[in-house]
Amino acid sequence: MLLIDTHTHIYDSAFDLDRAEVVQRALDAGVGMMLLPNVDASTIQPMLETHEQFPACTRIMIGLQPEEVKGDYKQVLALMEKELERGIYIGVGEIGLDFYWDTTFEHEQLDAFETQLVWAKQLQLPLSIHCRNAFNFMVRLLEKHQDGGLHGVMHCFTGTEDEAKVYLDLGFHLGLGGVTTYKNCALKDYLHNIPLDRIVLETDAPYLSPVPHRGKRNEPAFMVDTAKRIAELYDTPLEDLTKTITRNTINVFNRITEQLIN
């Protein structure tokens, strides 16, 4: 079994004391690759250092996460745009819109999101998109910019079936994580209606641990529990599911080495 965690923050300080052990547990569990999305200017260096420490099993993305969009967002974006010139990033992320707690920087979030959509199209890179309490705004901007050049993952998708189908129609995959294992998750009622070739897996570690680890720090090895739950919902053997989802992931993040599917 080979799995790819498409969204994990193992560079976070939550892993400073045992990062190597966390990575080894992931590899032992069959999670052979971990994709690291950036958050803000302060996370670029720890992310790079983590990738340098584990070059064979990590890949990196860069972007400004919506909750971190502040008054200085244009300066931060300029820094990230310069970083992209290095050619070492496999995607633009984590970007998006989040109006759950605060709409103080609503205009800035919208502008930052559009700016980064343009980067992705120009560089032909996939996106890792965060959306919370902003579905209508999100869809409007994706429809505005989708000319066939946008693709990627709707990170931590937990929406309705109708919302899922809108994102699929726009050309995106759905990133499913630990929330899928929770009893109150609505996905279980309709996931079988979503084409399996449009699904990828993630942890969002250190957040959102799946059952039976809920309440603990999340880590990539726990993605196996999410995979088992999704295999149950699709009524398909776990091995078949993992092969399909790994192939999906490589199709989306096409700069991941092709050796992963051999």
* Domain assignments of the chain as residue spans, ordered by start: 3-261
Q: Locate all alpha helices (DSSP H) within the chain, ordered by sequence.
A: 19-29, 44-53, 73-84, 106-123, 135-145, 161-169, 223-234, 238-252
| pLDDT for 171 beyond 90 | yes
CATH architecture of 3-261: Alpha-Beta Barrel (3.20)
Amino acid making up residue 237: P
81 is written with which tokens? 């745009």
Nearest to 172 by CA among 60, 96, 83, 255: 96
Nearest to 29 by CA among 222, 177, 178, 215: 222
Task: Give buried/exposed letters for 207-240 (b at 16+ CB in 10 A, else e).
Answer: bbbbeeeeeeebbbbbbbbbbebbbebbeeeeee
**178 and 214 Cβ atoms separated by less than 8 Å:** yes
Percent of the chain scored above 90 by pLDDT? 95
Looking at residue 202, what is its pLDDT?
Answer: 98
Q: How many CB atoms lie within 10 A of CB 186?
A: 13
C-alpha to C-alpha distances, 92 to 61, 63, 113, nearest whole angstrom: 5, 5, 11
Tell whether pTM > 0.75.
Answer: yes
| pLDDT tier for residue 59 given thresholds of 50, 70 and 90 | very high
| pLDDT for 151 beyond 50 | yes
Q: How much is the average pLDDT of 159-171?
A: 97
| pLDDT for 257 beyond 90 | no
| pLDDT for 179 beyond 70 | yes
| pLDDT for 1 beyond 90 | no
Looking at residue 255, what is its pLDDT?
Answer: 77
Contacts of 93 (CB under 8 A, 6+ apart): 7, 37, 38, 61, 62, 63, 126, 127, 128, 129, 152, 153, 155
| Mean of the per-residue pLDDT values of the chain | 95
Cross-strand bridge partners of residue 153: 128, 173
| pLDDT for 87 beyond 60 | yes
